[in-house]
Structure 1
């Protein structure tokens, strides 16, 4: 099996959307409200492509995963509740968003490989801390995040919405 991570291109958009839609369906099946509205959608992924922050996981020539690696501060992370971000020499961090593994590739531990590569890319770009969040009910993603070495840091709210609570995680590289 050959596998690697590369920057996404516009030609990857249909497969990226299909991967996100499969993730949306899996979350719905688990009765997790995350991604059950119009987010993420084509404009979100197109914005990631336009900003050169979209990445894909390739396995045997097929797109097996998609993620956004943001290198600008996330406004949702400005305030953290019931915890705190680990002290660091600066607030310079990258964050992972919109990560999903295509349904035909589940159970192969590819998320571990994807996370490892995203950490390496972050480090190579000069970021020594990485942040991520997931819905408090999304235990599958919480397991993947902590398995990758992230530490639970507290709670953040999406766009200040008290009804949209997420568990926040951080790793220092």
Structure 2
């Protein structure tokens, strides 16, 4: 099954929030109860990401939204300091944030990464230490664990980078 990716629009907002709800339930069921708490990501944040042109939606063959992610050109301020390691390089990069699936089909992560790699050869992403599923997917798909960064609320995240020669 080939998933399509397109930029999200305001008319997608309700479905995007449903996808995040499903992702939160999946994370809690797989031992990750501390990431995306208190309603994160909030509707206002996602509306802002749509308005900024950062939010993308993954569609199945029936054109039904099944996943989402934000794709933002760096530098990302939360990535300016890394401890317990180093970035692979300091070349220009893009960041993937808020990657989520509604769990109705497989392949959302791979479709997202494939699409992002077509846009740039240098990607960075981070995840919660409890998010073992995401850590496995990142390492399986060519990302290198680089160290620990801290998000805006001060909590630590495991930082990854994937850089291919162009």
Calculate the TM-score normalised by the size of structure 2: 0.90
Structure 1 portions without partners, runs of 5+ = none
Does 1:137 find its partner at 2:139?
A: no
Deviating beyond 3 angstroms after TM superposition, the runs of 4 or more aligned structure 1 residues are: none
Distance 1:113 1:71 in 2: 19
The secondary structure found in structure 1 opposite 2:70 is: strand
Give the superposition deviation at 1:103. Answer: 2.3
Distance 2:38 2:54 in 1: 23
Give the superposition deviation at 1:160. Answer: 6.1
Calculate the TM-score normalised by the size of structure 1: 0.87
Question: What is aligned with 1:166?
Answer: 157
Compute the RMSD of aligned alpha carbons: 1.5
Question: What is aligned with 1:70?
Answer: 72
Question: What is aligned with 1:26?
Answer: 26
Contact 1:28 1:36 in 2 (8 A): no
Within 5 Å, which residues of 2 pair with 1:80-95? 80-88=82-90, 90=91, 92-95=92-95
Distance 1:55 1:28 in 2: 24
Q: Tell me the alpha carbon deviations over residues 107-147 of structure 1, each in whole angstroms, 9 at most, x when there is no partner.
A: x23311221112212x2xxxx41100000111100111122
Distance 2:104 2:3 in 1: 15
Contact 1:77 1:156 in 2 (8 A): yes
The secondary structure found in structure 1 opposite 2:74 is: coil
Structure 2 portions without partners, runs of 5+ = none
The secondary structure found in structure 2 opposite 1:16 is: helix
User: How many residue pairs align between the two structures?
Assistant: 162
Give the superposition deviation at 1:42. Answer: 0.5
Distance 2:156 2:146 in 1: 13
